[in-house]
Amino acid sequence: MSAGLRIGQGFDSHGFAAGRELRLGGVLIPGERGLAGHSDGDVLLHAVCDALLGALALGDIGEHFPPGDARWRNADSREFVRHACGLVRQRGWRLANLDATLILDTPRLGPHREAIRQSLAALLDSPLDRISLKAKTPEGLGLPDTAIAQVVVLLEAAAAE
């Protein structure tokens, strides 16, 4: 087997909605409007999941967890990422690093950034220094009520120490 690398990228967007809790990267951000969606609307975890599945060329989150399926209604999106991580391990890969960008107007992510990084590191069973999270505001995009996440992951062959 060739010592290998795999890259994957994920993108997701959700609109903000009343009456929902805001979860980003598996972290509950209290007192903020949440994101619409069939599951808990965690835009960052959905992009993480798609990046992992993309690196494995195993489709996307909608194929693994169909949004029409009642089982995933208000689902904890950490489940989706755990599933994708299981596939990564099963296929002989492990995470080399992850780089994420969250694009949203409010809330400001500064106070939450470290908690979100730690949540991602725990979920992905990765050292913290392999997990990057950047935040941007959607300048000029005209999307004040939308949260966008972009994620890139690099996987390395698990046997290659």
Environment class of residue 40 by beta-carbon count within 10 Å: exposed (0-12), middle (13-18) or buried (19+)?
buried
d(CA 107, CA 34): 10
Structure tokens at 94: 């492990």
Total residues binding Zn ion (CB under 5 A): 2
Among 23, 33, 46, 78, binds Zn ion (CB under 5 A): 46
The residue range among 8-16, 105-113, 119-127, 150-158 that interacts with Zn ion, by the rule CB under 5 A, is: 8-16
> Under the criterion CB under 5 A, does residue 12 sit at the interface with Zn ion?
yes
CB contact set of 42 (below 8 Å; sequence gap of 6+): 23, 24, 25, 26, 35, 77, 78
Site string for Zn ion, 48-77 (x = CB under 5 A): ------------------------------
User: Which residue, 46 or 117, has its beta carbon nearer to Zn ion?
Assistant: 46
> Under the criterion CB under 5 A, does residue 6 sit at the interface with Zn ion?
no
User: Which residue, 39 or 126, has its beta carbon nearer to Zn ion?
Assistant: 39
CA–centroid distance for 152 within its chain:
10
Instruction: Give contact residues for Zn ion (rule: CB under 5 A).
Output: 12, 46
